[in-house]
């Protein structure tokens, strides 16, 4: 009976030892698995924290980007308004420039007209001065011829000295020569003419021109200049 009991006890002990070993092995395996799971859980927590930080950073960046976008929109609106104002001002300046160009053309036309009238006036004045100078020179030559003839110079000498044509010198000589029927009354006529001349100015030039017209020598007696 005792050997059976010992055998049974031995079997029980062996079974218990086997079960204990299995439990120990299972415990060790579970501990390793738990440790691995804890490590993975820690890693997941770290990744979650990192993801949360990145999410918050992205949210902050998104807010900053939104603010920048709003600022950029306001800046673009301001620049667009300023550009429109510049365009309007440029249009006004261009209109004023066109008005100035039109007024400048009108003033330029007026100046050209005034310049043309001034040139015409200068030309007319020059022609008048030339005519006056010719008349004065001719009148001076006639006076010199009269003086020389009164002094007794020959007609040819008078023509050479004064530059007058011989026909005109001859006409002046005839004008200065007294008529025969008036020689007897020269003193009386001289006294009367002196009284008249003292009251009226002498017009030598008018008399000479009338005499030349009477003889028909008005055009032929002008000197060639």
Q: Phi first, then psi: what are they for 201, rounded to 5°?
A: -70, 150
Q: How far apart are CA 22 and CA 14, in angstroms?
A: 12
49 sits in which H/E element: helix 2-150
C-beta of residue 166 within 8 angstroms of C-beta of residue 159: yes
Please give the pLDDT value at position 178. Answer: 63
What does the pLDDT look like over 130-168, one tens digit per residue?
Answer: 555 555 666 677 777 778 877 777 777 777 877 778 777
Please give the pLDDT value at position 158. Answer: 76
> How far from 95 is each of 86, 108, 151, CA to CA, in Å?
14, 20, 82
Q: For residue 165, give the 3-state DSSP assignment.
A: coil
Please give the pLDDT value at position 204. Answer: 43
C-beta of residue 176 within 8 angstroms of C-beta of residue 149: yes
Q: How far apart are CA 89 and CA 72, in angstroms?
A: 25
What does the pLDDT look like over 6-49, one tens digit per residue?
Answer: 778 888 888 999 999 999 999 999 999 999 999 999 999 999 99
Determine how many CB atoms are found less than 10 A away from the CB of residue 167: 14
> How far from 81 is each of 14, 15, 84, 209, CA to CA, in Å?
98, 96, 5, 87
């Amino acid at each position: 009976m005792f050997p059976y009991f010992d055998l049974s006890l031995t079997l029980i002990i062996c079974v218990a030892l086997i079960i204990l070993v299995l439990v120990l092995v299972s415990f060790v395996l579970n501990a390793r698995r738990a440790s691995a799971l804890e490590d993975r859980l820690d890693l997941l927590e770290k990744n979650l924290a990192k993801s949360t930080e990145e999410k918050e950073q992205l949210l902050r960046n998104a807010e900053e980007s939104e603010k920048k976008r709003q600022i950029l929109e306001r800046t673009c609106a301001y620049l667009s308004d300023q550009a429109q104002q510049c365009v309007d001002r440029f249009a006004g300046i261009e209109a004023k420039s066109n008005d100035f160009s039109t007024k400048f053309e009108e003033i330029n036309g007026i100046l050209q007209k005034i310049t043309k009238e001034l040139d015409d006036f200068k030309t007319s004045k020059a022609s008048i001065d030339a005519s006056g100078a010719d008349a004065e020179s001719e009148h001076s030559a006639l006076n010199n011829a009269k003086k020389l003839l009164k002094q007794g110079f020959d007609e040819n000498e008078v023509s050479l000295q004064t530059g007058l044509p011989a026909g005109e010198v001859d006409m002046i000589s005839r004008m200065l020569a007294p008529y025969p029927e008036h020689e007897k009354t020269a003193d009386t006529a001289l006294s009367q003419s002196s009284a008249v001349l003292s009251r009226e100015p002498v017009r030598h030039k008018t008399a000479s021109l009338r005499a030349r017209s009477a003889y028909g020598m008005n055009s032929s007696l002008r000197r060639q200049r």
